[in-house]
C-alpha cells in the first residue's frame, strides 16, 4: 500500500534538490538527482510495514535537507582523495634525459604531473639547460678565456665555469629526484590538493 | 562543544576512505554502504553519500555496474579499482601514523 501523499512528497523533495543543485555542472547535477531518486525507490522497497506518509518523510529526513546535500556535493566536486602518483617512465625519463637530451627531457618533464610548476621551471632553467646551456657556457668560457688572454678584468673566470659545469649539469636531475618523493607527488598533482594540505 | 566542527570535518575527510575500505573485497551498492556507515555513526546525512560516490567514480577510484535486484529496483554496485586500492593503502599508512602521533601526544599529556 502506497502512502497517500507519497508522490507529492517525493516530487517536492526532488524538485527542491534540483533547485538547490542548479549551480552544479550539468553532469553531477543530473547524477545527484537520479541517485537520490533511486535511493528513495530502494528505501521504499525495503520498508516492510505498511507505508504511510510518515515512512516517506522519514526516508527524506534521513537523506538530509537538499541544501545540505548540495553544499556537500559542491565541496566534493572541488576536492577528493586522489591516488598517489607513482613515478613511471615519464618521470625517470625526464630525470635521465634532462642533462643529456635536454629538449626531450624538458618535454617529458612538463608532461608529467609529478612535479609542481615551480619545480618544472627550476629544473628547465637551472642549471643551465643541458645542450643549450652547455653551448652557452662553452661560448662564455671561451669569451672569458679570450678576455683573460687579453688581460681581462677577471682572470680565471673561464676556468671556474669549466669546474662548475659537471656540478651544474647534474643539479636538475638530482633536484627532480629529491622532489619526486612519494609524499610529494600527490601534493603536486593539482593546485587544489595543495591547498588542502594540512597547515601543521 | 568547540570540537563539534572539528570532529565532523575529520569524519567527512575519512568518509571517502571508509567507503573505499568497505568495498575493498566485495562490490556494494549505495544503500548497503549507508547501512554499514550509519551503524558506525560515520554518515548522518544519507544524501551526502551520493556526491561522494560520484566523485570517487570520476576520479577513477571506483567503477560501477548496474545489477538487477531480486527485491526491488536495479542497483548500482560500486567496485574498487586498482587506483582506488592504491589510494586506500596510502591512506591506511598515513592514518596509522597520524593516529599514533596524536595518541602519543595525548598519552604524554595525561601523565603530566
Residue B61 has pLDDT above 90, yes or no: yes
> Percentage of residues in chain B with pLDDT exceeding 90?
69
CA-nearest residue to B45 within chain A is: A64
Find the mean pLDDT for residues A108-137. Answer: 73
Mean pLDDT computed over A42-57: 90
Domain count, chain B: 1
Q: Please answer yes or no on whether A68 and B47 come within 8 Å at the CB atom.
A: yes
Q: What pLDDT is recorded for position A1?
A: 66
- Domain CATH for B34: 1.10.10.10
**More confident site: B40 or B71:** B40
Higher pLDDT, A158 or B95: B95
Q: Which of B6, B14, B42, B50 to mutate to test the interface with A (most CBs of A within 10 A)?
A: B50
How many angstroms away from the CA of B48 is the closest CA of chain A?
5
* Whether A147 contacts A154, CB under 8 Å: yes
Is the pLDDT assigned to residue A192 strictly greater than 60?
A: no
Long-range Cβ pairs for the range B21-26 (8 Å, 24+): B21/B88, B23/B62, B23/B78, B23/B79, B23/B80, B24/B80, B24/B85, B24/B88
CA–CA gap between residue A56 and residue B89 (Å, rounded): 39
Other residues' Cβ atoms within 10 Å of the Cβ of residue B12: 16
Domain range enclosing B62: 4-111
Cell of B35: 547501512
Of A63, A73, A86, the CB nearest to B51: A73
Name the closest residue on chain B to residue A36, using Cα atoms.
B47
Distant-in-sequence, close-in-space partners of A60: CB < 8 Å, separation ≥ 6? A9, A10, A13, A40
Chain A nearest C-alpha distance from B112 (Å): 24
Q: Cell numbers of A165, please? A: 659545469
Joined together, the cell numbers standing for residue A183 give 609524499
Which residue numbers of A have CB closer than 8 Å to B's CBs? Answer: 28, 31-32, 35-36, 38-39, 41-43, 45-46, 62-66, 68-69, 72-73, 76-77, 80-84, 86, 186
Q: pLDDT at residue A60 above 80?
A: yes
Residue B108 reports pLDDT greater than 50:
yes
A130 vs A117: CA distance, rounded Å: 19
pLDDT-based confidence at residue B62 (cuts at 50, 70, 90): very high
A95 vs B32, residue with greater confidence: B32
Q: Does B78 touch chain A (CB under 8 A)?
A: no
Cβ–Cβ gap A73/B16 under 8 Å: no
User: What is the average per-residue pLDDT within A112-133?
Assistant: 72
Q: What is the pLDDT of residues B24-44, one digit of tens each?
A: 999 999 999 999 998 888 888
Query: For position A10, what pLDDT does the model report?
Result: 95
Instruction: Locate A24 and state its grid cell.
Output: 552544479
Share of chain B above pLDDT 70, in %: 96
Q: What is the ipTM, given to two decimal places?
A: 0.85
Query: Chain A residue closest to B93 (CA)?
Result: A183
Highest mean pLDDT among A48-62, A88-102, A169-183: A48-62
- This prediction has a pTM of 0.60
Per CB-CB distance under 8 Å, the chain A contacts of B71 are 45
- Does A28 contact B54 at a Cβ distance shorter than 8 Å? yes
B56 → closest Cβ in A45, A66, A80: A80
The per-residue pLDDT for A178 is 81
Beta-carbon separation of A64 and B20 below 8 A: no
- Confidence at residue A195, expressed as pLDDT on a 0 to 100 scale: 39
**CA–CA gap between residue B64 and residue B27 (Å, rounded):** 9
Output the CA–CA distances (angstroms, integers) from residue A10 to A7, A44, B28, B29, in the order listed.
5, 11, 25, 21
B92 CB within 8 Å of a chain A CB: no
Between residues A163 and B46, which one has the greater pLDDT? B46
Query: Which tens digit of pLDDT belongs to each residue from A132-162?
Result: 666 666 677 677 665 555 444 555 555 666 6
Amino acid at each position: 500500500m502506497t502512502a497517500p501523499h507519497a508522490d507529492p512528497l517525493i516530487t517536492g523533495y526532488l524538485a527542491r534538490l534540483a533547485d538547490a543543485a542548479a549551480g552544479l555542472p550539468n553532469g553531477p547535477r543530473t547524477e545527484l538527482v537520479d541517485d537520490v531518486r533511486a535511493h528513495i525507490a530502494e528505501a521504499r522497497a525495503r520498508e516492510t510495514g505498511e507505508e504511510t506518509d510518515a515512512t516517506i518523510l522519514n526516508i527524506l529526513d534521513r537523506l538530509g535537507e537538499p541544501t545540505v546535500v548540495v553544499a556537500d556535493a559542491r565541496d566534493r566536486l572541488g576536492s577528493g582523495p586522489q591516488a598517489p602518483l607513482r613515478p613511471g617512465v615519464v618521470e625517470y625519463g625526464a630525470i635521465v634525459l634532462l642533462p643529456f637530451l635536454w629538449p626531450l627531457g624538458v618535454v617529458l618533464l612538463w608532461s608529467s604531473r609529478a612535479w609542481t610548476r615551480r619545480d618544472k621551471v627550476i629544473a628547465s632553467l637551472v642549471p643551465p639547460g643541458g645542450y643549450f646551456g652547455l653551448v652557452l657556457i662553452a661560448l662564455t668560457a671561451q669569451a672569458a678565456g679570450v678576455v683573460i688572454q687579453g688581460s681581462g678584468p677577471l682572470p680565471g673566470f673561464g676556468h671556474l665555469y669549466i669546474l662548475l659545469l659537471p656540478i651544474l649539469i647534474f643539479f636538475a636531475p638530482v633536484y627532480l629526484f629529491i622532489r619526486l618523493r612519494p609524499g610529494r607527488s600527490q601534493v603536486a598533482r593539482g593546485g587544489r590538493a595543495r591547498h588542502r594540505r594540512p597547515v601543521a | 562543544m568547540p570540537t563539534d566542527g572539528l570532529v565532523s570535518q575529520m569524519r567527512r575527510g575519512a568518509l571517502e576512505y571508509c567507503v573505499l575500505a568497505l568495498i575493498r573485497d566485495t562490490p556494494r551498492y549505495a544503500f548497503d554502504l549507508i547501512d554499514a556507515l550509519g551503524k558506525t555513526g560515520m554518515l548522518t546525512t544519507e544524501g551526502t553519500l551520493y556526491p561522494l560516490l560520484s566523485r570517487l567514480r570520476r576520479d577513477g577510484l571506483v567503477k560501477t555496474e548496474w545489477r538487477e535486484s531480486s527485491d526491488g529496483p536495479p542497483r548500482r554496485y560500486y567496485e574498487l579499482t586498482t587506483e582506488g586500492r592504491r589510494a586506500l593503502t596510502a591512506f591506511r599508512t598515513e592514518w596509522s601514523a597520524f593516529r599514533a602521533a596524536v595518541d602519543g601526544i595525548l598519552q604524554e599529556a595525561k601523565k603530566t
